[in-house]
Structure 1
Amino acid sequence: MSTDSANIIQEEKKTDRLQKLLDKIKQRNYTVGIVGLGYVGLPLMWTFHSNDMPVLGFDIDKEKINCLKEGRPYIKHLGKEMMQKLADSKKCDATTDFSRISEADALLLCVPTPLDYHREPDMQYVEKTCMTVGEHLREGQLVILESTTYPGTTEELVIPILESKSGLTAGEDFYVAYSPEREDPGNINFDTGSIPKVVGGHAKEGIELACALYDTSIVRTVPVSDTKTAEAVKITENVFRAVNIALVNELKVVFSDMDIDVHEVLDAADTKPFGFMKFVPGPGLGGHCIPIDPFYLTWKAREYEQNTRFIELAGEINTSMPQYVIDQTLKALNAHKKPMNGSDILVIGLAYKPDVDDMRESPTFKIMDLLKEYGAEVSYYDPHIPEIKPTREHDEWTGTKSISWNKEVVSGYDAVVISTDHSVIDYEELAEWSDCIIDSRNALKGIEPDNDIHFWKA
């Protein structure tokens, strides 16, 4: 047989296998494996399940698997009803047994991509996951990385590990794609299924298969030319937000010294129907994306001898905001003739954003750390987080419990710092109970202070 004939036969086999997989997706007989069942993986599991796709979840945390099997929610805003339906479904299963990876037709990797202590990408979770997947990878499977990362990760890190561990070849024996998660925990206007999905593939078969899969359950797929372009899309989205938040944070500091309310300025500016997009200042950045992702790009840019000065400046401004809150707290206490050292300070809101129980990268931790360094006795109140669970960077607070919300307890603090403005908190009560409030979120808007030093903007 000639080489040309052999190549034609090989191409026909590849085409036939791809078509069979596409037919399997169309028939809703294509098992979606989701590795990592946290704030990204769990909503993704629910979205595919809701569209009649069989799902198989993987996680190293036995408690999450037990919760899924028993219908107990472990992410507050997703609710019990969803968890119970997943637990009762015959088309949904979850396990800590990664040898079952071969049962899935597609494997969507939803694992953390944090920064290390040098503010550089910590890829250990992606690497370990790819090693495990590679050990059980079979021909015909589709592997999609969803974790936010630097451009080039899929081609330079993920594929080499999968190929090395499996002995298979990407684009020939198995398929690879990248599709960044776009979760916004607690957003009532958008969920996983209603947010368009950007997809970049390794080879045309990878993107075709990945788009077909997401098309079953997501409102729209947005294919781009390759995986590194898709990786760059997510980085760009979060850099845009980080830079604009830094801008309004800087304006907050400047306008405060001018005795101008930045929130009034932003509200008025937002009435312009074009050329302006409102961002809101705060005590710093939190969550799993915005405080981290820009640094992934700055790190990768150095490989090309490029300096991302604008992005790095924004990072400096945003990371400085917790100290600004502390400085305002010092001024507020001083106005009450009290020192920071020895004062009892209550911090309201541990979650990084309102109305969720997600405390990843929350600036509240930095605020609490700084208050403690200044000698204050620190407590917190968060109705969504009754107790601080172990974290990667703030183990000293593990086991600390939220205070009770009542006048006797709250009025006993020398100062209250509002770090997260949960909507369930009665701020009028707070204003009655405390005579020194440092408000970093404009939570007290519309509530008139009793005197000039009752409320302190931060």
Structure 2
Amino acid sequence: MPADLAVIGLGALGLPLAQAATAAGIGTIGYDPDPRTAALPGTDGPLSPAEIRRLLSAGFRTTTDPTTLGRVRTAVICAPTPLGEDRALDLSAVTDAARTLAARLRPHTTVILESTGYPGTTEDVVRPLLEEGSGLTAGRDFHLACSPARHDPGNRIHRYGNTPKVIGGLTPACTEAAAAFYGRLTDKVVRARGPREAETAKLLETNYRHVNIALMNEMAVFCHDIGVDLWDVIRCAETKPFGFQAFRPGPGVGGHAAPIDPNYLSYKGRSLGHPLRMVELAQEVNGRMPRYVIQRCATLLNEHGKSARGARVLLLGVTYKPDIGDQAGSPAREVASRLMELGAHLTYHDPYVYEWNVLDRPVPRADSLYEAACAADLTVLLQPHRTYDLQGLAVKAQLLLDTRGATPTGAAHRL
């Protein structure tokens, strides 16, 4: 079918959008300059191999040819914006996408930015590139809007269609053009006052999650030190019908949505001078959780007369979320690397990950979960996939550290 939509960037943001648009009967092409990404390989992306096959059979096509971008009515930029070494968002993929699109941009096209950016990215970064490269004016010759992605991989309740989309257009007409597009994909669209408000909503949503997880991670360390069962504390606290939302600790925070401090505006080479101190602290607290897990591992082994050096350690679940294959930002990699540096002999098991490399070395994958747990001096549950029988695992394992509080009470040592 002819393409009406171009999704630029076929990663964690682009593929779910392509899936929703294709299911809605919108002719969709996916553009990615990387041939490997455009080929949709592997099993660790936002869609399963079966979902990819269904998507392709429904007419979705991928390409590395930028000329196809000039034949669509709507173009959505879904390029990745990872957090760099300096804790600033790397917007290079977004700027590359904007330049590529600008050279083919036609009048009356609706351009939408879904990539995560700082407040002002749509107007101050994307808009000038589109206008300079096309000779067109945003808000007059083409529509420009921002609608930050809200996809939650593996979520069986909140899908694309029942998750509201926030939309902020450069002009009211831009907002309505973007709303008309997303109205075909979702049950509800929420109109922001403009692109900056839409971008800041994403910033707030991401930082809200990280700050609250950081609080629980600090509570986990505190409660362990004073001999309090934090998991029972959470169970009690979440019965309060107002003023409390339950978050849970873990071995670290992974995923594609990194905590964002708008003080680090590297794309302008300047700083606002008003850092979000809570965000900085949350990053620090969550960033040290893998080291705390290693500390707990070493202590448990020592209490049972064993050293971390030479210990056989089994890691369970190396993805960043349960029941998906995506490893983006998973703390499992740092946990594994630190255990290897201590001299532990590692194996891993994950039903969604068939090969895993740490420190440029392959980690052996356990074929039989229970046999591996029996043989290991320590088993560490990092991600509680639904396929794991945690009760049975607790019986088989010599020593089990549960970093997610997923095992039955009393069945394992908990974080």
- Same fold (TM > 0.5): yes
Distance 2:44 2:360 in 1: 23
> Are 2:376 and 1:413 aligned?
yes
> Are 2:87 and 1:87 aligned?
no
Tell me the secondary structure at the aligned position of residue 157 of structure 1.
helix
Match of 1:23 in 2: none
* Among 2, 24, 33, the residue aligned to 1:51: 24
Match of 2:393 in 1: 430
Match of 1:116 in 2: 84
Distance 1:442 1:132 in 2: 47
| Alignment map for 1:206-245 (pairs within 5 Å) | 206-245=174-213
Match of 2:158 in 1: 190
The RMSD of aligned alpha carbons is 2.3
| Cα distance, 1:74–1:435 mapped onto 2, change above 3 Å | closer
Match of 2:95 in 1: 127
How far is the alpha carbon of 1:362 from its aligned partner? Answer: 0.6
How far is the alpha carbon of 1:401 from its aligned partner? Answer: 5.2
How far is the alpha carbon of 1:60 from its aligned partner? Answer: 3.3
Match of 2:14 in 1: 41
Counterpart AA for 1:441: R
| Cα distance, 1:204–1:406 mapped onto 2, change above 3 Å | closer
Q: How many residues align?
A: 412
Match of 2:283 in 1: 315
| Cα distance, 1:409–1:196 mapped onto 2, change above 3 Å | same
How far is the alpha carbon of 1:161 from its aligned partner? Answer: 1.5
Counterpart AA for 1:410: A
Q: Is the 8 A contact 1:415 1:434 kept in 2?
A: yes
| Cα distance, 1:140–1:400 mapped onto 2, change above 3 Å | farther
| Alignment map for 1:231-380 (pairs within 5 Å) | 231-289=199-257, 292-295=258-261, 297-300=262-265, 303-380=271-348
How far is the alpha carbon of 1:56 from its aligned partner? Answer: 1.6
Distance 1:440 1:245 in 2: 13
> Are 2:403 and 1:403 aligned?
no
Distance 2:34 2:291 in 1: 35
Distance 1:82 1:407 in 2: 30
Distance 1:285 1:439 in 2: 16
| Cα distance, 1:293–1:408 mapped onto 2, change above 3 Å | closer
Higher helix proportion? 1
Distance 2:317 2:369 in 1: 16
| Cα distance, 1:349–1:75 mapped onto 2, change above 3 Å | closer
How far is the alpha carbon of 1:76 from its aligned partner? Answer: 7.0
Q: Is the 8 A contact 1:328 1:456 kept in 2?
A: no
Match of 1:15 in 2: none
| Cα distance, 1:133–1:400 mapped onto 2, change above 3 Å | farther
* Among 135, 148, 151, the residue aligned to 1:180: 148
Tell me the secondary structure at the aligned position of residue 380 of structure 1.
strand
Q: Is the 8 A contact 1:298 1:312 kept in 2?
A: no
* Among 123, 126, 135, the residue aligned to 1:158: 126
1:233-283 deviations in whole A, cap 9, x for unaligned?
A: 011011111111111111111111121111111011111111111111111
Tell me the secondary structure at the aligned position of residue 161 of structure 2.
helix
Distance 2:88 2:46 in 1: 31
Structure 2 regions of 5+ residues with no counterpart? none
1:84-132 deviations in whole A, cap 9, x for unaligned?
A: 4432335x33222121100111111111110112222211111111121
Fraction of identical pairs, as percent: 35
Distance 1:357 1:456 in 2: 26
Structure 1 regions of 5+ residues with no counterpart? 1-27, 450-454
Match of 2:135 in 1: 167
Match of 2:33 in 1: 60
Q: Is the 8 A contact 2:263 2:272 kept in 1?
A: no
Structure with bigger gyration radius: 1
Give me the TM-score of the superposition, normalised by structure 2: 0.93
| Cα distance, 1:84–1:378 mapped onto 2, change above 3 Å | closer
Distance 1:388 1:134 in 2: 39
| Cα distance, 1:407–1:303 mapped onto 2, change above 3 Å | closer
Tell me the secondary structure at the aligned position of residue 368 of structure 1.
helix
Distance 1:388 1:145 in 2: 33
Distance 2:377 2:133 in 1: 58
1:205-228 deviations in whole A, cap 9, x for unaligned?
A: 211211111112211111111111
